[in-house]
Amino acid sequence: MASVTTSISGQPGKPKLPRRRLMTRRSLSRLPTLAILTVVGLIMLFPTVWVLSTAFNNNGGIATGNILPTKPSLYNFREILNVVSSGEPVLRWLLNSIGVSIVAAIGVALIDSLAAFALARLQFRGSKVVFYVVVSSLMVPFIAVLLPQYLWFHWLGLLNSYGALILPYTANAFGVFLLYQFFLGIPRELQEATTVDGAGPFVMWYRLFVPLSIGITATLGLLTFMNVYNDYFWPLIATSTPNMRTVTVGLEIVAIGQYQTNFGALMALTVISVIPMLVVFVFAQRRLVEGIAMSGLAGV
């Protein structure tokens, strides 16, 4: 904060520039920024152009490093249809992915909101222990729990079910941490007003904290959705029948063989599979930014 204070108060007497001059200077100073953004933006688009060109190219599945398709066609998409007609339930994979991700996202948002509220706003014995155990669980590498998790689900008799595809994601320590940060930022005056009304903690959570945190909670939901949708290893080992696969696993089954990768089919199915997420994101991105902006995480 120190440097900020100096720069504000350091030159109190400096006269304000005329508005027009300021505007011109601003637009001029924006040019390098825009140039940088354009360059980076092109780099961001570059691989996607390749993905699209590979998906719409007909070259027998062997990859070209070309940016534009040499033989444009819908061949790869017809290949995917062939895969469907040969019995692989591609549509079911997509629906599985979408359904599982939505349920996990809603579950995480609800469960984590309740937990974060208790940790941030209620006084109880053991709160420190709970908090640290939850946060330190972020440090465990996924690879350490992959097989134990599998054996545990086997023991529970839940493998190859939607339960197996959803439940492991519900224990989302990051979400608790995120919402915890946000709840800490809610001013005490508001809570006290609610407490004076004689409301219990549940009413307070429901009436005050949930509405105030709807943005960040939606953000958490969206991030969870993407996370679950793109996960690979767990759905791979937790499912064993074609109907229970998710699309990320299906992608590998369809496109990656022992000695060859069918890049055309891989990219065609990728294009199909990212559409739901892109739609969600384009509509949600503003909300996402607002959501995090309101959280304590990004606070000044």
Site for another protein in 229-288 (CB under 8 A): 230, 232-233, 236-237, 239-244, 248-249, 251-254, 256-261, 263, 266-267, 270, 273-274, 277-278, 281-282, 285-286, 288
**Binding of another protein at residue 114 (CB under 8 A)?**
yes
List 23, 74, 193, 298, residue binding another protein (CB under 8 A): 298
Quote the CA–CA distance of 61 and 241 in Å, as a whole number.
26
Contact between 195 and 204 (Cβ < 8 Å):
yes
Minimum distance, C-beta of residue 146 to another protein, in the bound complex (Å): 8
**Binding of another protein at residue 76 (CB under 8 A)?**
no
- # residues contacting another protein (CB under 8 A): 172
Minimum distance, C-beta of residue 197 to another protein, in the bound complex (Å): 13
**Binding of another protein at residue 149 (CB under 8 A)?**
yes
List 13, 144, 196, 198, residue binding another protein (CB under 8 A): 144
List 109, 115, 220, 228, residue binding another protein (CB under 8 A): 115
Contact between 183 and 295 (Cβ < 8 Å):
no
Minimum distance, C-beta of residue 114 to another protein, in the bound complex (Å): 5
Residue 178 tokens read as 């995120």
Minimum distance, C-beta of residue 8 to another protein, in the bound complex (Å): 5
List 13, 18, 20, 124, residue binding another protein (CB under 8 A): 124
List 77, 84, 95, 111, residue binding another protein (CB under 8 A): 111
Site for another protein in 169-208 (CB under 8 A): 170-171, 173-174, 176-177, 180-192, 195, 200-202, 204-205
Minimum distance, C-beta of residue 10 to another protein, in the bound complex (Å): 8
Task: List phi, psi (to 5°) of 191.
Answer: -65, -45
Minimum distance, C-beta of residue 4 to another protein, in the bound complex (Å): 6
Minimum distance, C-beta of residue 220 to another protein, in the bound complex (Å): 11
Quote the CA–CA distance of 101 and 103 in Å, as a whole number.
6
Residue 38 tokens read as 């354009």
Site for another protein in 12-41 (CB under 8 A): 14, 16-17, 22, 26, 29-30, 32-34, 36-37, 40-41
Site for another protein in 40-69 (CB under 8 A): 40-41, 43-48, 50-51, 54, 59-67
